Structure 1
Amino acid sequence: MKRVSVDIGGTFTDCFVAWDERCIESKALTTHQNLALGFNDALRNACQELGLDERELLSQVDSVRYATTLGTNALIQRKGPRLGLLTTAGFRASVPLSRAKGYGVGLPHKQQMDVPNAQRPDPIVPIPMILEVRERVDYSGDVVMKLDEEDLRDKLRQLVDKGAEAVVVVLANSVVNPVHELRIRELFLDEYPGHMLGAIPMLLSHQVAGRKGEYVRAMSTIMDGFLHQVMYHGLGTLELNLRNAGYDKPMLVNHNSGGMAQLNSTDALQTVHSGPVSGIAASEHLALQTELGNIVATDMGGTSFDIGIVVEGGVKHYDFNPVIERWMVSVPMIHLVTLGAGGGSICAYDRMFRTVQVGPDSAGSDPGPASYDRGGLKPTVTDADLVLGYLDPANYAGGRIKLNPRRAKQAIENELCDELDLSPVEVAKLIKATVDANMANGIARELRTRGYEPENFTTLAYGGNGPLHACGIARALGVKRILAPPFASVFSAVGAGNMNQLHIHEMSTWTTLFDANQRSFFSDYARFNGIVEELEQRGRDDLLRQGFTAEQIQYRLELDMRYGNQRVETAVVTDLNRVTTPEHVLKLIDQFHTRYGERFGKGSQTPEAGVRINTIRVCSFVEHPGISFTGIRPSGKPLPPPPPIAQRDCHFVGHDGALATSIYGEDALTPGTQIDGPAIVVTRATTYLIEPGWRYQAAQQNAVWFTQIDA
């Protein structure tokens, strides 16, 4: 296998190259003005290690796969076209009202509670650019009012005259019957043909999101339209860069659904948060192949700290109405919680609590932390780690970034020492304790709100800063063991290379499997199977267009089900692709009954209220070979540590004064090596910090276990 996978983060661009039996990790600073430059730097570093020319490598790899934050940055910076929105008469206020929750969605809980100071985000579509058209389709798909085509033509001209650069169409119940949305596109192309100079793209909501819910479907389509141009040019630049370097195959883009596709089969909205989701996908593969059981995946990079859950058996948690930036959308996305707690997170004085506040703002890659010596003036977590002695100023990021300890200390002194009346070292220890506690609290909250206990999970600590803060997170979380997985510093990039090509299509439905009033079971098998066949056909068309054969394509059927009129829906994965008998109906009900009990507790099921299917979802995918994870558990007789390469004084939370700390090189990654803290292992990709009272145990594929010694 010869493959390049890339995770373009807010601070670093991570590159992972699988070259037959060799696996190369590489990093470079992200160049936001042109993502291709950061990718080229990271790839060049990997090629030097392999002894290859970049053109030679790219001409031989089977694929190049990207996960990118380009869409996230575009939303934050509001870089996008002027949009126009056409919606059903009477629904013009749906988007501005945003379900009466727009003031708080996407904000931390503390800010959500501050209602008097609440502010809605600047709208992506200004209210004057929202126009109504006369038409109506009811909940079952019957046309109640035909589309007024003359009125429509007038509204289209108004949007064009107002400067619309793209048009979004969101009609009520179009997911059940899209006839009017399709007709609007026909009339639009008649008035404004696509071959005209300056042609305006049009997006139809039923093609972007297949579930009911007018507001979330509208926001999904609006965000897709808003990001389309930025993603097209940004990813197009990456693809052109590959072509110029000798790569002649389709570029693959990772999706936040846990799959990937070619660029021409990717919606802009699917790329948002695809980098952290790739790390969760890698965690899923690790859990399945090594039988680790329940896993909580934590990715501490330069900008953020991302949390995901994979329960035993490789089952991921999905968000079907995730919040992206400040808006709720309707796309199936792997559940992810993001905290502003990365290495570049800016530290400030919290006047209310008279302590340090870490994040959510980040110094990013430009200017970066103060110690990068690129103009940054605010102290960050990385600056604190440097002041505490954990980082080697001359050997950070494999020696490619030189750190300036004086700048780090000066930034902490200028911003925090006087306010806190503490020395720079004491402030740095407070910063480390705060960020470790913030990350641990985020993990505990995420697990416990879903009915899990942290001690029943193996915590993975990866990303560029994960192994550096692993012991601190474990201590604050109250767990006695934590794992830095194989290739920890670029683990999300590894996940980007392990994903299957996958498309998810779904459709809202009103299907009652058991009617409690009539005491009857579902029998309209043809309607149910027809929906499944249509969704399979959409996925099949997507994958056939990318060069696969029908025989290579597999399907997975998922149903969102609920008891009666409950608002809570539970996703059920079933091996039944068709329903043809009453026994099949009973099997679906039984699978839902079991899954509901697992989620909410045995005995919580209420079948007497009836059982309904609200959404039918089909995952169409083609499996690809990936990196195998084997032998990550410590085995055999422990090996003594190699001779240290240096020794320096480091400061640790809970310990007064500096402690003499041995520094080890990459030979400490030899499987079986055991080191008791305090100690530091420095590699080209990351730094492993072994705090006092903790033990470091190296396993296969550079996996490392941190265990509390008295555990």
Structure 2
Amino acid sequence: MKRVSVDIGGTFTDCFVAWGDRYIESKALTTHQNLALGFNEALKTACRQLDISERELLSQVDSVRYATTLGTNALIERKGPRLGLLTTDGFRSSVPLTRAKGYGTGLPHKQQMDVPNAQRPDPIVPIPMILEVRERVDYAGAVVMPLDEDQLRDRLRELVDLGAEAIVVVLANSVVNPVHELRIREIFLEEYPGHMLGAIPMLLSHQVVGRKGEYVRAMSTIIDGFLHQVMYHGLGTLELNLRNAGYDKPMLCNHNSGGMAQLNSTDALQTVHSGPVSGIAASEHLALQTGLGNIVATDMGGTSFDIGIVVEGGIKHYDFNPVIERWMVSVPMVHLVTLGAGGGSICHYDRMFQTVQVGPESAGSDPGPACYDRGGMKPTVTDADLLLGYLDPANYAGGHIKLNPRRSKQAIEAHLADEMDESVVDCAKLIKRTVDANMANGIARELRTRGYEPEHFTILAYGGNGPLHACGIARALGVKTILAPPFASVFSACGAGNMSQLHIHEMSTWTTLFDANRQAFFSDYDRFNGVVEELERRGREDLLRQGFEPAQVRYRLELDMRYGNQRVETAVVTDLNRVTAPEHVLKLIEQFHERYGERFGAGSQTPEAGVRINTIRVCSYIEHPGIRFRSIRPPEKLLPAPPPIGTRDCHFVGVDGARKTAIYGEAALTPGTRIDGPAIVVTRATTYLIEPGWRYTAADQNAVWFTRLDA
């Protein structure tokens, strides 16, 4: 297997190359003005390790896969086209008003509680660009009011005159009957054919989202339309760069659903958060191949700290109404929580509580932390790590970035030390303790709100800064063991190389499996099977368009079910692809009953209220060979620490004064190597910090266990 996988983050571009039995990891700074430049630099570093040219490598690989934060950045910076929105008469205010708690969506808990100062996010579509058309389809799909085509033509002209660069169409109940949305597109092309308006896109909501829920469906389509242009040009530049370098196969993009697809089969909305989701996918494969059991995936990069959960058996948690930026959308996305706690997170003095606050703002890669010497003036977590002695100024990021400790000292003095009347070192230690506690609290909150305890999980610490803060996170969390997985610094890029090509299609339905009023079971099998067949057809066509044969396509059926009129829905994965007999209906009810009990506790089930299916979802996918993880358990024969390559004075949280700390090189990654802290292991890709009272044990494929000495 020869494959290139890339994770373009806010600070670094990570590259993972599978070249037969060799796995190569490399990094470069992300070049936001042209993502291809950062990719080329990371690929060049990998090629030097393989002693091969970039053109020769790209001509031989079977695929190049990208995970990117391009869409996330575009939303934050509001870089996108001027959108126009057409909606059903009477629904014009549904998007600007958001939902009842729209003022707090996407904000930290503290800000959500500050209701007097609450403000809803600025709308992506300006209110004058939202126009109504007369039409109506009821909940069952019957046309109650036909589309007023004359008025529609006036509305289209008005949006074009107002400067719309893309048009989004969101009509009530169009997921049940899309006839009016389809007719609007026909009329638009009649009035404004391509040779007149060029390539102005029109997005229909029923093609983006298959579930009911007018507001979340509208926001999904709006965000997809807003990101369309940015993603088209950004990813198009990456694909053109590959073509110029000799790569002649389709470029693949990772999706936040846990799958991937070719660029021509990828919606912009599917790429948001695809980088962190790739890390969760890698965690899932690691757990399945090595028998790790329950896993908490934690990715500490340069910009953020991402948390995901994979329970035993490789079952991921999904969000079916995730929050992207400040808006709730309606796309299936692997569940993750993002905290502003990366290496580039900016630190400032909180006057009210007289302490240091870390994040959520980040210095990114440009200008970056103050120590990058690129114009950054504010202190960051990386500046604190440098002044505490953990980082080598001359050998950071494989020697590609030279750090300037003087800049870090100036930034902390100006923004923290003078305000707090503390020494620079004490401020740096406070930053380290604060960011570690923030990450530990995020992990604990995420697990306990779902009914889990941290001690029942293996915690993975990866990303460029994960192994550097692993001991601090474990100390604050109260756990005694933590794992830096294989290829920790580029683990998300590694996960991008393991994903299958996958498409998810879903449709809202009103299907009552057990009617409590009539004491009757569902019997309209043809209607149910017809919906499943239609969703399978859509997924199959997606994959056939990418060059696969029908026999290669696999399907997985998922149902969102609930008791009676409960608001809470539970996703049920079933091996039944068709329902043809009463025993199939009973099996679905039994599977729902069991899954509901696992989630809310045995005895909480209420079948006497009736059982309903609200959404039918089909995952269509192609299985691909993936990267093989070997045993991550340390060998039975442990090795003494190799000779250190030097020493450095380091400062640690809870320890007075500086401690002379041994520094080790790549030799410390030899499986079986055991080192007691304090010590530091420096590699080309990352830095492993072993704090006092902790033990470092190396395993295969550069996996590392951190264990408390009293464990």
TM above 0.5: yes
Contact (CA 8 Å) 1:193, 1:199: kept in 2 or not? no
Deviations 1:227-271 (Å, cap 9, x if unpaired)? 000000000000000000000000000000000000000000000
Matched to 1:19, the amino acid is: W
CA distance in structure 2 between the partners assigned to 1:164 and 1:650 by the alignment: 57
CA drift of 1:139 comes to 0.6
Q: Which residue of 2 aligns with 1:439?
A: 439
| Number of matched pairs | 711
SS in structure 1 opposite 2:416? helix
1:417 aligns with 2:417: yes
Matched to 2:475, the amino acid is: R
Contact (CA 8 Å) 1:535, 1:617: kept in 2 or not? yes
Q: How does 1:550-629 map to 2 (within 5 A)?
A: 550-629=550-629
CA drift of 1:78 comes to 0.7
Deviations 1:370-389 (Å, cap 9, x if unpaired)? 11111111010000000000
Deviations 1:180-226 (Å, cap 9, x if unpaired)? 11111111111111233434210000000000000000000000000
Q: Which residue of 2 aligns with 1:642?
A: 642
Q: Which residue of 2 aligns with 1:522?
A: 522
Q: How does 1:111-190 map to 2 (within 5 A)?
A: 111-190=111-190
CA distance in structure 1 between the partners assigned to 2:700 and 2:5 by the alignment: 21
SS in structure 1 opposite 2:194? coil
> Mean Cα displacement is larger for which, 468-477 or 405-414?
405-414
Q: Which residue of 1 aligns with 2:323?
A: 323
Q: Which residue of 2 aligns with 1:75?
A: 75
CA distance in structure 2 between the partners assigned to 1:695 and 1:551 by the alignment: 51
Matched to 1:8, the amino acid is: I
CA drift of 1:113 comes to 1.1
SS in structure 2 opposite 1:505? strand
CA distance in structure 2 between the partners assigned to 1:407 and 1:170 by the alignment: 51
CA drift of 1:405 comes to 1.1
RMSD of equivalent CA atoms:
0.7
CA distance in structure 1 between the partners assigned to 2:23 and 2:593 by the alignment: 44
1:693 aligns with 2:697: no
Q: Which residue of 2 aligns with 1:229?
A: 229
Q: How does 1:140-289 map to 2 (within 5 A)?
A: 140-289=140-289
TM-score, normalised to structure 2, is 0.99
Q: Which residue of 2 aligns with 1:32?
A: 32
Q: How does 1:415-564 map to 2 (within 5 A)?
A: 415-564=415-564
CA distance in structure 2 between the partners assigned to 1:463 and 1:336 by the alignment: 15
CA distance in structure 1 between the partners assigned to 2:378 and 2:229 by the alignment: 34
Q: 1:685 to 1:82 in 2, by over 3 A?
A: same
CA drift of 1:101 comes to 2.3
Contact (CA 8 Å) 1:6, 1:13: kept in 2 or not? yes
CA distance in structure 1 between the partners assigned to 2:456 and 2:637 by the alignment: 27
Contact (CA 8 Å) 1:346, 1:358: kept in 2 or not? yes
CA drift of 1:100 comes to 2.6
SS in structure 2 opposite 1:99? coil
Deviations 1:270-322 (Å, cap 9, x if unpaired)? 00000000000000101111111110000000000000000111000000000
1:7 aligns with 2:7: yes
CA distance in structure 2 between the partners assigned to 1:463 and 1:277 by the alignment: 13
Q: Which residue of 2 aligns with 1:367?
A: 367
Contact (CA 8 Å) 1:663, 1:682: kept in 2 or not? yes
Matched to 1:412, the amino acid is: I
SS in structure 1 opposite 2:555? strand
Matched to 2:428, the amino acid is: A
CA distance in structure 2 between the partners assigned to 1:368 and 1:539 by the alignment: 42
Deviations 1:446-470 (Å, cap 9, x if unpaired)? 0000110011000000000000000
SS in structure 2 opposite 1:507? strand
Matched to 2:615, the amino acid is: T
CA distance in structure 2 between the partners assigned to 1:630 and 1:592 by the alignment: 36
CA drift of 1:523 comes to 0.4
Matched to 1:397, the amino acid is: A
CA drift of 1:637 comes to 1.7
CA distance in structure 1 between the partners assigned to 2:409 and 2:151 by the alignment: 66
CA distance in structure 2 between the partners assigned to 1:581 and 1:479 by the alignment: 50
Q: How does 1:344-359 map to 2 (within 5 A)?
A: 344-359=344-359
Deviations 1:319-367 (Å, cap 9, x if unpaired)? 0000000111000000010000000000000111100000000000001
Matched to 1:149, the amino acid is: E
SS in structure 2 opposite 1:398? helix
SS in structure 2 opposite 1:498? coil
Q: 1:132 to 1:197 in 2, by over 3 A?
A: closer
CA distance in structure 1 between the partners assigned to 2:602 and 2:197 by the alignment: 62
CA distance in structure 1 between the partners assigned to 2:394 and 2:80 by the alignment: 41
Deviations 1:455-511 (Å, cap 9, x if unpaired)? 100000000000000000001011110000000000000001110000000000010
CA distance in structure 1 between the partners assigned to 2:666 and 2:196 by the alignment: 60
TM-score, normalised to structure 1, is 0.99
Identity across matched positions, percent: 87
Q: Which residue of 2 aligns with 1:51?
A: 51
Deviations 1:614-670 (Å, cap 9, x if unpaired)? 000000000111111121011212111110110111110010011111110001000
CA distance in structure 2 between the partners assigned to 1:403 and 1:24 by the alignment: 25
CA distance in structure 2 between the partners assigned to 1:293 and 1:578 by the alignment: 32
Q: 1:93 to 1:197 in 2, by over 3 A?
A: closer
Q: Which residue of 2 aligns with 1:302?
A: 302
Matched to 2:222, the amino acid is: I
> Mean Cα displacement is larger for which, 111-120 or 368-377?
111-120
CA distance in structure 1 between the partners assigned to 2:563 and 2:475 by the alignment: 41
CA distance in structure 2 between the partners assigned to 1:527 and 1:192 by the alignment: 38
Matched to 1:270, the amino acid is: Q
Q: Which residue of 1 aligns with 2:654?
A: 654
CA distance in structure 2 between the partners assigned to 1:420 and 1:564 by the alignment: 58
SS in structure 2 opposite 1:100? coil
Contact (CA 8 Å) 1:88, 1:132: kept in 2 or not? yes
1:311 aligns with 2:306: no
Contact (CA 8 Å) 1:192, 1:199: kept in 2 or not? no
CA distance in structure 1 between the partners assigned to 2:570 and 2:293 by the alignment: 22
Matched to 1:509, the amino acid is: T
Matched to 1:487, the amino acid is: F
CA distance in structure 1 between the partners assigned to 2:705 and 2:195 by the alignment: 59
CA distance in structure 2 between the partners assigned to 1:620 and 1:194 by the alignment: 32
Matched to 2:230, the amino acid is: V
CA drift of 1:122 comes to 1.5
Matched to 1:602, the amino acid is: A
CA distance in structure 2 between the partners assigned to 1:495 and 1:505 by the alignment: 23
Contact (CA 8 Å) 1:557, 1:573: kept in 2 or not? yes
Contact (CA 8 Å) 1:346, 1:363: kept in 2 or not? yes
SS in structure 2 opposite 1:652? coil
CA distance in structure 2 between the partners assigned to 1:201 and 1:10 by the alignment: 28
Matched to 1:450, the amino acid is: R
Q: How does 1:83-122 map to 2 (within 5 A)?
A: 83-122=83-122
Q: How does 1:373-412 map to 2 (within 5 A)?
A: 373-412=373-412
Contact (CA 8 Å) 1:649, 1:661: kept in 2 or not? yes
SS in structure 1 opposite 2:376? coil
